[in-house]
Amino acid sequence: MKRKLPKPYYSKNGATLYKGDSLKLLKKIEDESIDLIFADPPYFLSNDGITCKSGKMASVNKGSWDKSNGLTDKYNFNRAWIKECYRILSPDGSIWVSGTLHNIYSVGMALEENNFKILNNITWQKTNPPPNLACRCFTHSTETIIWARKNLKKSRHTFNYTVMKEENGGRQMKDVWAGTTTPKAEKVFGKHPTQKPIYLLDRIIRASSNEGDLVLDPFCGSSTTGVAAIQNNRHYIGIDISKEYMILSRKRIQEVM
């Protein structure tokens, strides 16, 4: 089957953005052509609830793309995009998927169902989470990031163990990473409701890819993945359905070019 991506929204010096439906565009990427995938898919938590932002009550709704149509639809969606990620990922590549309790268990099941082997379950502990306004459960202060590779006997995924050990003061790095949420300095061109901080993607990319590798983010949002990839001399493909976030991604990428 011949596959060809459409004209990109933006492309320069190894960084390429495509505006469109991820499920459709993933099908147009060549088999085993991607070295590393980071995905921050919809968490499906826009349920008309409330949260706290900057000390004020705010809606949790993020957009139509984040609304759930039920458990079955959510799982079918995760299975569909993860299946395509398996096809396009190189035999020695790996995938990272971020999520919360609203989606991550569905993601984990879909990964295993599509013949991925889970390597680590990273807990990202936010040191400055918003308070829990309902006071009916513990404050939500973590996200889970699953790291997986293809479940193949000959698969030799990249792990720059020595780099990570040196960064951790000469000790093996553990699977709990603590740090702040995205600072205002990383939102000067605008913001995405689930924008990740650069330090998080910087670590992921340096840990599991090498210079010159091709990194894909199928739900790129504001392209933190792209910024970190460029800063670490990797190539980047970002996909998002929103023109607003394509514009934001382009501005952030151009700033670090």
Q: Which pLDDT does position 56 carry in this prediction?
A: 52
Give the integer Cα–Cα distance in Å for 20 and 241.
Answer: 4
Give the integer Cα–Cα distance in Å for 144 and 122.
Answer: 6
β pairing state of 56-59 and 235-240: unpaired
Q: Which pLDDT does position 69 carry in this prediction?
A: 73
Buried b (16+ CB within 10 A) or exposed e, 11-46: eeebbbbbbeebeebbbebeeeebbbbbbbbbbbbb
Q: Which pLDDT does position 67 carry in this prediction?
A: 62
Q: Are 22 and 81 in contact (CB under 8 A)?
A: yes
Domains of the chain by range and CATH? 10-256 (3.40.50.150)
Q: Which pLDDT does position 70 carry in this prediction?
A: 73
β pairing state of 176-179 and 116-126: parallel
Q: Which pLDDT does position 44 carry in this prediction?
A: 75
Q: Are 47 and 66 in contact (CB under 8 A)?
A: no
> Which of 36, 233, 1, 25 minimizes the C-alpha distance to 148?
36
Q: Which pLDDT does position 53 carry in this prediction?
A: 53
Q: Are 189 and 244 in contact (CB under 8 A)?
A: no
In sequence order, what are the beta bridge partners of 172?
Answer: none
> Which of 43, 232, 204, 219 minimizes the C-alpha distance to 122?
204
Helix (H), strand (E) at residue 236: strand 235-240
Q: Which pLDDT does position 55 carry in this prediction?
A: 52
**pLDDT tens track, the chain, 257 positions:** 678 899 999 999 999 999 999 999 999 999 999 999 999 999 876 454 444 455 554 444 445 544 667 789 999 999 999 999 999 999 999 999 999 998 999 999 999 999 999 999 999 999 999 888 888 999 999 999 999 999 998 899 999 999 999 999 999 999 999 999 999 999 999 989 999 999 999 999 999 999 999 999 999 999 999 999 999 999 999 999 999 999 999 999 999 99
pTM over 0.85: yes
Strand order in the sheet with 214-217: 10-12, 15-19, 235-240, 214-217, 34-39, 89-99, 142-150, 116-126, 176-179
Q: Which pLDDT does position 68 carry in this prediction?
A: 63
Beta strands, E only, 8-141: 10-12, 15-19, 34-39, 50-53, 56-59, 89-99, 116-126
Read off the amino acid at residue 217. Answer: D
- Nearest-Å Rg of the Cα atoms of the chain is 18
Give the integer Cα–Cα distance in Å for 61 and 140.
Answer: 16
